[in-house]
Amino acid sequence: MSLSGVDFIAIGEEKMNSLKKNYQFRFVYNRGRSIANRLLVIYSVKNGCEENRVGISVSKKVGNSVVRSRVTRLIRESYRAKEKCVRTGYDIVVIARASAKDASFHDVESALTHLLKKQRLMEEIKAPLMENNGE
């Protein structure tokens, strides 16, 4: 399903809004802030909507199509797991570096979480204080 050049990726019951078109990626590259770590690079820019749009880029430098698809799935699932904690209203592009081809899911998830926190896109979820009743 497409709405104004934006495709939806079905994940379970929910749909993740994604960036697909070249001009959408270029806008985020040109106007957005970037930050990187060993595995990933993230660009983000406000989009004026009430939801996030995510684009994932994995170049041929990372590996063959099987490897690129695996890395894409790892990134998508990592984002999906953290999506409830991510501030809304942003276009986010995640770029995989060549070192991501050997990374586990846990590595990709922690790298993505680290970058989202550095970009201040993660909302801190405060755990309820445990009351110690003298026990």
Spell out the domain ranges in the chain.
Answer: 2-118
106 half-sphere exposure, CB direction, 13 A CA radius: 0
**What is the structure's pLDDT at 17?**
86
Condensed to tens digits (0 to 9), the pLDDT of residues 19-37 reads 999 999 999 999 999 999 9
**What is the structure's pLDDT at 16?**
74
Is the model's pLDDT at 87 over the cut of 50?
A: yes
Residues 6+ apart with CB under 8 A from 66: none
**30 three-state secondary structure:** helix
**50 three-state secondary structure:** coil
Condensed to tens digits (0 to 9), the pLDDT of residues 34-72 reads 999 999 999 999 998 999 999 999 999 999 999 999 999
Angle, vertex CA 77, rays to CA 56 and CA 90, nearest 5: 50
Give the CA-trace dihedral at 115, 107, 91, 58, to 10 degrees: 120
Cα distance between residue 128 and residue 126, in whole Å? 6
CATH architecture for the domain at 2-118: 2-Layer Sandwich (3.30)
Condensed to tens digits (0 to 9), the pLDDT of residues 102-132 reads 999 999 999 999 999 999 998 876 555 555 6
Supply 5's token pair.
């050049």
